[in-house]
Amino acid sequence: MRKKKILFHSNHSKAFTGFGKNAKNVLIHLHKTGKYEIVEFANGFQWSAPKLKQLPWRAYGSLPDNPALIEKLNKDPKLGRAAGYGANMIDRIIQQEKPDLYIGAEDIWAFNEYTEKKWWNKTNCMIWTTLDSLPILPDAVNKASEIKNYYVWASFAEKALHDLGHNHVKTLHGSIDCSTFFRLENERRAQLRAINGISQNSYVIGFIFRNQLRKSVPNILEGFKMFLNQEPTSNARLLLHTHWSEGWDIPRLIHEKGIDPNLILTTYFCQNCGSYEIRNFNGQQLQCRSCGQKKLNTTNTTHGVNEHQLNEIYNLMDVYCHPFTSGGQEIPIQEAKLTELITLVTDYSCGTDSCNPESGGIPLDWCEYREPGTQFIKATTYPSSISKNLRKVFNMKPEKRLAQGKKSRQYVLDNYDSSVIGKKLELIIDEMPEINWDFDFSFVKRDPNYNPPNIEDDSEWIIDLYKNILKTNLDASDSGHQHWMERLRTDMNRKQVLDYFKSVAIKENSENSKVSLESLIEKSNNKTALIVSSADASTIFAATSLLDSFHETYKGTDLYFACHPNFHDILNGNPNIKKVLQYDEQMEDEFLMTGRAGQKGYFDYYINLNNSHLKNITSKNCYAFR
C-alpha cells in the first residue's frame, strides 16, 4: 500500500512564529510515524531556497525564484502579500506533487482564492486556521461551506461558526512541544535569579509577547502600579520579555504612569555569542557581559533566545499575566503553564480556553470596544482585575499555588502536546480517501460572445452566466452567486453584470492563451539552450555578439532566443539560433527552465540577460550558460 502524500502549507517549520512552531511539531510527529510522504510548502521563502533542502522531507518555498518577479509583485502590497502566502506557486506545487491531502495552516486570508481552484476538493483539502475576534471574519464565514475539513485553533471560533450554521467546523489546538518547557528545581531557579541580579524574595510577574498593539501593555502597567500601591512590601518586579523598538513606546508609558523604571525588567539577547541577560531597559546595542561585544538588544523575532533559554526565563517568574485584545491561541500562555505557573488571561477570544477552572488559569475581566473599520469586538482588560488577581496569587498559600501550577501543566499536556495533536491529525488523515489523480488541469476557454436567453429568474440567470461564459458550475449557495444577486438588488442592472462577465472571460482567455514551451521546442537529439531577455532593442542587438562564440563552444546545441516580438527582426535569420520565441514571464524562472531536485526542465543551458551584464560575457567565459 502506498503512503498518503501530505502537502503541508504554513510558515516554515524552522520559523520562530506560532505557525512555524506548530509546523515543526506536527511534521516531526507525522514523519516519525513512517506512514506518510510529506511535502512542506513554506511561506515567505523562494521556491528553491537552499535552507529548505536541510530537512528530512521535501520542501519548497511559496515565492518564485526570480527576484525581478518578486520585486514586481511587491510594488503592489496586495499582490506582494498574496505571493508571500503562495498565490503564485500553489498551482505549480499541487500539479507537481499531486497530494492526497492539502493542509493549509495559516491566517484565513492566505486562502482567499483557493476554493475557486480547479483542484479544490478534488483532492482532500483541510484548512487549519486561527480566528481571533467576534463577529467572525467574513472571509472565514463565506468560505465555510466550501471547506469540507475546517479546523480552528480555539473553541470560541468553533462555537461562533456553529451558531452561524456551520456545524462541521471543529477545534484542533495548535501543537506545543511540551518536552522543552518544565519547572526547574528550586536550587536552579534560585541560581538563575542570582545570575540575573533578581532578589530571591522578589515577586516576579511575567509577560512574554511580540510588541504588537493588540498586546495590552498599558493595561498591565496600570495593573502593576495598582498592585504596588496595594502590596507595598511585595518587592514586585514586572518582566516584559519583548522587543522595545517596535509597537508600544514602553519607556514613555512607564514614565506617564509614574512607575519606577528599576521595577521593570526585560530580556536582552546577544547577537554575537547567543547569551541572554535579564536587566532594566537601557537602550539597544549594549555591551554583552559574556563576550564584551556591543551586540546586546532586547529579544526579537530575528535575534532572540532559544527555547531552552526561554524555559529558564519562565522559571524566573512567580506568576504569568497575559492581557490582550484578542488572539488565535497565544502560545506563551501554554508554555507558562508547562513551567507550572498560574496564568492570568483575558477571558475573551482564545483566552477562554486558558482561564477556565480545568485549565488552572485565572480569568481577567474586560470591557468591549470596537476596532475601527472592521468593527470587530476587542477586549480591553481592566487594570483593577489584573491587580486583584496578582494579589490573589501573591497571597495564595504556597502549597495551593504549587497544586494549581501542576494542574495548569497537566491541562496543556492533555490538550496541546504535539503528540496529542499529532495523533488527532493522524486520525483525520487516515479517514480521508486516497486520491486518483486523473482530473484535468487544462484551461477551459471562456465564451465572451455568449448571450443568455430570456431567463426571468435572476438566480437562474446568474447560474447560466457562470456556466456558459465562465464555464463554471455552481448553485445558489455559492458566495459568488450571492454577491451578484446582491448587486442586482442594489446598484447594477443585468446589462452591467453581463458586460462584467464578458470582460472577465476575455481577461482569463488572454491570461491562459500562452502556448506551452514544450510545444515550441523542436524534437531533436541535440542539447538545448535558452537566452531570455525582456530588454530593449540595443540589448538584444548587443547579445548577438555572443552567438558565434557560443556556437563554437557548444557545437551541436540548439539555441533558442526569447524576447519581445517587436525585436524578432533583429534575430530572424541568424544562423546560430535554432528558433526565436516570444518572451513569456515564466521564462524568468531559471529552475523551471532547467529543472531541479529531480524535476526535468526544458533546456540544458540557460542565461537571463535581465540579470547579467553583457560586457562581462565574452567568448572566453560562455560558462554563463549552464
| pLDDT computed for residue 616 by the predictor | 43
pLDDT at residue 51 tops 50: yes
| pLDDT computed for residue 622 by the predictor | 41
Q: What is the pLDDT of residues 568-609, one digit of tens each?
A: 989 998 999 999 998 877 788 787 788 765 567 889 899 888
| pLDDT computed for residue 359 by the predictor | 96
Comparing 325-334, 354-363, 552-561, which segment has the lowest mean pLDDT?
A: 552-561
Q: What is the pTM of this model?
A: 0.74
CB-based contacts of 528, cutoff 8 Å, min separation 6: 521, 557, 558, 559, 560, 578, 602, 603, 604, 605
pLDDT at residue 557 tops 90: yes
Mean pLDDT calculated for residue range 301-311: 92
CA distance 589 to 591: 6
Highest mean pLDDT pick, 233-242, 540-549, 586-595: 233-242
| pLDDT computed for residue 355 by the predictor | 96
Residue 52, phi then psi, degrees to nearest 5: -80, -10
Which residue has 450554521 as its cell numbers?
165
DSSP string, 497-543: HHHHHHHHHHHHHHHT-PPPHHHHSPP-SSEEEEEE--S-HHHHHHH
Q: What is the pLDDT of residues 141-168, one digit of tens each?
A: 988 999 999 999 999 999 999 999 999 9
Comparing 104-108, 153-157, 159-163, 299-303, which segment has the lowest mean pLDDT?
A: 299-303
Question: 83, 70 in Cβ contact below 8 A?
Answer: yes
Mean pLDDT calculated for residue range 87-102: 92
| pLDDT computed for residue 613 by the predictor | 45
Mean pLDDT calculated for residue range 43-66: 93
DSSP-derived letter for residue 597 is T
pLDDT at residue 113 tops 50: yes
Beta bridge partners of 380: 367
Mean pLDDT calculated for residue range 46-57: 93
Mean per-residue pLDDT of the chain = 91
Categorize the per-residue pLDDT at 18 as very low, low, confident or very high, splitting at 50, 70 and 90.
confident
CA distance 67 to 611: 9
Kind plus residue range of the DSSP H or E element containing 72: helix 67-74
pLDDT at residue 493 tops 70: yes
Comparing 13-17, 154-158, 215-219, which segment has the lowest mean pLDDT?
A: 13-17
Type of residue found at 46: Q
pLDDT at residue 268 tops 50: yes
| pLDDT computed for residue 626 by the predictor | 39
CA distance 621 to 370: 64
Q: What is the pLDDT of residues 583-592, one digit of tens each?
A: 877 788 787 7
| pLDDT computed for residue 520 by the predictor | 82
Nearest C-alpha neighbor of 425 from the set 87, 16, 124 = 124
- The fold of 186-415 is Rossmann fold (3.40.50)
Type of residue found at 475: D
pLDDT at residue 307 tops 50: yes
pLDDT at residue 12 tops 70: yes
- The fold of 4-174+424-430 is Rossmann fold (3.40.50)
Mean pLDDT calculated for residue range 45-59: 94
Categorize the per-residue pLDDT at 350 as very low, low, confident or very high, splitting at 50, 70 and 90.
very high
The pLDDT > 90 percentage for the chain reads: 71
| pLDDT computed for residue 200 by the predictor | 96
Categorize the per-residue pLDDT at 513 as very low, low, confident or very high, splitting at 50, 70 and 90.
low
Comparing 26-35, 117-126, 392-401, which segment has the lowest mean pLDDT?
A: 117-126
| pLDDT computed for residue 241 by the predictor | 98
Categorize the per-residue pLDDT at 479 as very low, low, confident or very high, splitting at 50, 70 and 90.
low
Comparing 94-108, 212-226, 332-346, 524-538, which segment has the lowest mean pLDDT?
A: 524-538
3-state secondary structure of 218: helix
DSSP string, 304-357: ---HHHHHHHHTT-SEEEE-BS--S--HHHHHHHHTT--EEEESSGGGGGTSSG
pLDDT at residue 620 tops 60: no
pLDDT at residue 456 tops 90: yes
| pLDDT computed for residue 75 by the predictor | 80
